[in-house]
Amino acid sequence: MEVVSTAKRSAKKKHISTIRRREVMWCYIFLFPQLVIYLAFTLWPIIASYYFGFFNWNGTGWPTHFIGFQNFVEVLQDSYFWGAFKNSFIYTIGLVVIVVPTSLIVAIILNSPKLKFATFFRSMFFLPVVLTMAIVGIIMKNIFAFEGGFLNEVLLNIGVIQEPINWLGNTAFAMVALILVGVWKGFGIKVIYWLAGLQTLPKDLYEAARVDGAGIVQQFIYITLPLLIPFLVVITFFQTVWAFNVFDLVKTFTNGGPYFGTDVVPLYIYRYAFEIEGGFPRMGFASAAGIIYGFATMIISIILGILVRKFGSTKTT
Amino acid sequence: MKKLVAILLVCLFLLAACSSGASNNENSGDEDKVTISLFSSHGQFNKGNFGERMVEEFMEANPDIHVEISYAHGSNYNDTLLALASSGDLPDVIQPTGNFSLIDLIENDWVQPLDDYVRDGFRDDFPDSAFAEGINIIGDDTYTFPRIVAKRGSALYYHTDLMEEAGLDPNAPPQTWDELLEMSKQITENVDGAYGFAVPLNEDFPHVILLAQAMQPTLDTNGFDHQKGAYDLDSPHVIEAMEFLLKMRDEGVIHPNSPTQELLDYQGLWANKQAAFGFNGHHFVRVNEFELDGVEDYNVAPIPVLEEEMQHSQLSLGADFNAYISSTTEHPEAAGKLIDWFSSQEFYERQQAEDLLLSPLDSNLDEIDNEQLKNLANVFEETVVARPVFEQDEAAFKVKQEEAALSEPQKFWQVVQGAYIGEIDDWQSELTKINDAYNERFQQAIENVQAEGENVSQDNFTFPDFDGTKDYLVE
Give the CATH number for residue A281: 1.10.3720.10
**The pLDDT of residue B1 is above 80:** no
* Residue B188 pLDDT: 97
**The pLDDT of residue B4 is above 60:** no
Q: Do B108 and A285 touch (CB under 8 A)?
A: no
Question: Which one, of B47, B85, B90, B86, lies nearest residue B69 by Cα?
Answer: B47
CA distances from A277 to A274, B229, B389 (A): 9, 21, 20
What are B206-250's pLDDT values in tens digits?
A: 999 999 999 999 999 999 999 999 999 999 999 999 999 999 999
A37 found inside a domain: no
Nearest chain A residue (CA) to B418: A259
For residues B388 and B396, the answer to whether their CB atoms sit within 8 Å is no
Q: Do B104 and A280 touch (CB under 8 A)?
A: yes
For residues A236 and A100, the answer to whether their CB atoms sit within 8 Å is yes
Of A113-117, B285-289, B419-423, B460-464, the one with minimum mean pLDDT is A113-117
Kindly indicate the confidence band of residue B17, based on its pLDDT and cuts at 50, 70 and 90: very low
Distance from CA of B124 to the nearest CA of A (A): 31
- Alpha carbon distance B245, B262 (integer Å): 17
Q: Do B79 and A58 touch (CB under 8 A)?
A: no
* Residue B306 pLDDT: 95
Domain locations along chain B: 29-150+319-369, 151-316+388-475
- Alpha carbon distance B144, B165 (integer Å): 47
A39 found inside a domain: no
**Predicted confidence pLDDT, tens digits, chain A (317 residues):** 566 677 777 877 777 788 888 888 999 999 999 999 999 999 999 999 999 999 988 877 788 889 999 999 999 999 999 999 999 999 999 999 999 999 999 999 999 888 888 889 888 999 999 999 889 998 999 999 988 899 999 999 999 999 999 999 899 999 999 999 999 999 999 999 999 999 999 989 989 999 999 888 899 899 999 999 889 988 999 999 999 999 999 999 998 989 999 999 999 999 888 776 556 778 899 999 999 999 999 998 888 888 777 776 554 44
* Residue B22 pLDDT: 39
Higher pLDDT, B150 or B196: B196
- Alpha carbon distance B337, B344 (integer Å): 11
Considering the domain delimited by B29-150+319-369, tell me its CATH architecture.
3-Layer(aba) Sandwich (3.40)
Q: Is B188 on the interface with A (CB under 8 A)?
A: no
Q: Are strands B34-40 and B314-316 parallel, antiparallel or unpaired?
A: unpaired
Kindly indicate the confidence band of residue B16, based on its pLDDT and cuts at 50, 70 and 90: very low
For residues B388 and B472, the answer to whether their CB atoms sit within 8 Å is yes
Q: Which of B102, B103, B407 to mutate against chain A (most A CBs within 10 Å)?
A: B407
A22 found inside a domain: no
What are B338-387's pLDDT values in tens digits?
A: 999 999 999 999 999 999 999 998 877 788 989 999 999 999 999 999 89
* Residue A181 pLDDT: 96
- Alpha carbon distance A44, A61 (integer Å): 17
CA angle B247, B261, B431 (to 5 degrees): 50
- Show residues of chain B in contact with A147, CB under 8 Å: 255-257, 274
Nearest chain A residue (CA) to B423: A259
Q: Are strands B34-40 and B65-71 parallel, antiparallel or unpaired?
A: parallel
CA distances from A253 to A167, A186, A262, B199, B274 (A): 11, 15, 10, 18, 21
For residues B436 and B223, the answer to whether their CB atoms sit within 8 Å is no
What is residue B202's three-state secondary structure? coil
* CATH superfamily for domain B151-316+388-475: Periplasmic binding protein-like II (3.40.190.10)
Q: Is A38 on the interface with B (CB under 8 A)?
A: no
What is the secondary structure of B382-393 as a DSSP string? HHEEEPP-GGGS
CA angle B459, B464, B466 (to 5 degrees): 120
Residue range(s) defining the domain that contains residue A204: 79-312
> Which residue type does B292 have?
L
- B172-209 in b/e form (b: 16+ CB < 10 A) is ebbbbbebbbbbbbbbbeebeebbbbbbbbbbebbbbb
Q: Is the dihedral of CA A224, A225, A229, A233 positive or negative?
A: positive
pTM of the prediction?
Answer: 0.82
What are B266-322's pLDDT values in tens digits?
A: 999 999 999 999 999 999 999 999 888 889 999 999 999 999 888 888 988 877 889
Q: Is A52 on the interface with B (CB under 8 A)?
A: no
Task: Name, in order, each residue with C-beta under 8 angstroms of B311's C-beta and a sequence gap of 6 or more.
Answer: B214, B302, B305, B382, B383, B469
A287 found inside a domain: yes
Read off the DSSP letter of residue B408.
P
* Residue A293 pLDDT: 94
Domain tally for chain A? 1
Nearest chain A residue (CA) to B78: A276
* Residue B13 pLDDT: 47
- Alpha carbon distance B358, B348 (integer Å): 8
CA distances from B259 to A171, B198, B202, B374 (A): 11, 9, 6, 32
Q: Is B371 on the interface with A (CB under 8 A)?
A: no
Residue B464 phi/psi, 5-degree rounding, is -60, -25
* Residue A304 pLDDT: 83
Nearest chain B residue (CA) to A286: B407
Kindly indicate the confidence band of residue B25, based on its pLDDT and cuts at 50, 70 and 90: very low
Residue B174 phi/psi, 5-degree rounding, is -65, 135
Q: Do B410 and A80 touch (CB under 8 A)?
A: yes
Nearest by CB to B7, from A29, A80, A254: name it: A29
* Residue B71 pLDDT: 95
H or E segment to which residue B276 belongs: strand B275-281
Distance from CA of B408 to the nearest CA of A (A): 10
Q: Do A278 and B407 touch (CB under 8 A)?
A: no
> Which residue type does B42 have?
H
Distance from CA of B363 to the nearest CA of A (A): 33
Residue A102 phi/psi, 5-degree rounding, is -70, -35
Read off the DSSP letter of residue A55.
B
Q: Is A251 on the interface with B (CB under 8 A)?
A: no
Q: Which of B100, B101, B231, B260 to mutate against chain A (most A CBs within 10 Å)?
A: B260
> Which residue type does A142 have?
N
Query: What part of A 136-195 touches B (C-beta under 8 Å)?
Result: 141, 145-148, 164, 166, 168-171
Question: Which one, of B429, B286, B336, B288, lies nearest residue B113 by Cα?
Answer: B336
Q: Do A277 and B7 touch (CB under 8 A)?
A: no
Q: Which of B192, B421, B434 to mutate against chain A (most A CBs within 10 Å)?
A: B421
For residues A191 and A239, the answer to whether their CB atoms sit within 8 Å is no
Distance from CA of B366 to the nearest CA of A (A): 34
Distance from CA of A44 to the nearest CA of B (A): 16
Helices (H), B272-411: 284-286, 332-342, 345-355, 371-383, 394-405
Residue B225 phi/psi, 5-degree rounding, is -95, 115
> Which residue type does A138 have?
I
Read off the DSSP letter of residue A227.
H
Q: Are strands B275-281 and B195-197 parallel, antiparallel or unpaired?
A: parallel
